[in-house]
Structure 1
Amino acid sequence: MTDKPIPAPFRADGLVAAVTGGANGIGLAAAKLLVTMGCRVVVTDRDGAAAIEAATAIGPDVAFGLELDVAKEASVDAAFAQIDAKVGRLDILINNAGRAIRKPSLELSLADWDAVVAVNMTGAFLCARAAATLMIRGGAGGVIVNTASIMGLSGGGLYPNISYQTTKGAIVNMTRALAVEWAPHNVRVNAVAPIWTRTGFIGQLEESPELMARIQAVTPLGRLAEAEDVAYAIAFLASPAAGMITGHTLAVDGGFLAQ
Structure 2
Amino acid sequence: MSKMLEQLFSLYGKVALITGGGRGIGQETALMLSQAGAKVAVLDRDESAAKDAVDAIVSAGGEAVVLVADVSKPEQIKQAFATALDRFGRLDILVNNAALVRRIPALETSIDVWREVMDVNLNAAFFCSCAAAEPMTAAGGGAIVNIASIMGISGGGIYPIASYHASKGGLVNLTRGLAVEWASRGIRVNAVAPTWVRTEFTKALLDDPEMSKTLLDLMPLRKFADTIDVAAAVLYLASPAAKVVTGHVLAVDGGYLAR
Q: How high is the TM-score relative to the length of structure 1?
A: 0.95
Q: Match for residue 151 of structure 2?
A: 151
> Given the alignment of the two structures, is residue 195 of structure 1 paired with residue 188 of structure 2, yes or no?
no
Give the AA of the match of 1:195: T
Counterpart Cα distance in 1 of 2:65 and 2:12: 17
Match of 1:47 in 2: 46
Measure, in 2, the Cα distance between the counterparts of 1:69 and 1:51.
13
Percent identity between matched residues is 48
Letter in 2 for 1:54: A
Q: Matches of 1:157 and 1:130 in 2, distance apart? A: 35
Count of residues in Structure 1 that have an aligned counterpart in Structure 2: 256
Q: Which residue of 2 aligns with 1:87?
A: 88
Tell me the residue number matched to 2:184. 184
Question: How far apart, in 2, do the equivalents of 1:101 and 1:55 lie?
Answer: 28
SS of match in other structure, 1:218:
coil
Letter in 2 for 1:246: T
Distance 2:139 2:231 in 1: 27
Q: Letter of the 1:25 partner, please give it.
A: G
Once structures 1 and 2 are overlaid, which stretch shifts more, 180-189 or 57-66? 57-66
Give 1:4 deviation, angstroms: 10
Which stretch shows the higher mean deviation, 18-27 or 104-113? Answer: 104-113
CA contact (8 A) 1:29 1:227 kept: yes
Conservation of the 8 A alpha-carbon contact between 2:92 and 2:139 = no
Please state whether the residue corresponding to 1:59 is helix, strand or coil.
Answer: helix
**RMSD (CA atoms):** 1.5
- Equivalent in the alignment of 1:36: 35
Matches of 2:32 and 2:85, distance apart in 1: 22
State the Cα distance separating 1:106 from its structure 2 match: 1.3
Question: Within 5 Å, which residues of 2 pair with 1:1-259?
Answer: 7-59=6-58, 61-136=62-137, 138-259=138-259
Tell me if the contact between 2:91 and 2:139 (Cα under 8 Å) persists in the aligned partners: no
1:139, CA displacement in angstroms?
Answer: 4.0
Structure 1 counterpart of 2:58, one-letter code: G
> Secondary structure at the residue paired with 2:182?
helix
* Matched residue type, 2:11: A
SS in 2 for 1:201: coil
Read off the aligned partner of 2:152 and give its amino acid letter: G
Q: Which runs of 5+ in 2 are unaligned?
A: none
Residue 232 of structure 2 aligns to which amino acid in structure 1? Y
Aligned partners of 1:105 and 1:45: how far apart in 2?
28
The one-letter code of the counterpart of 2:146 is N
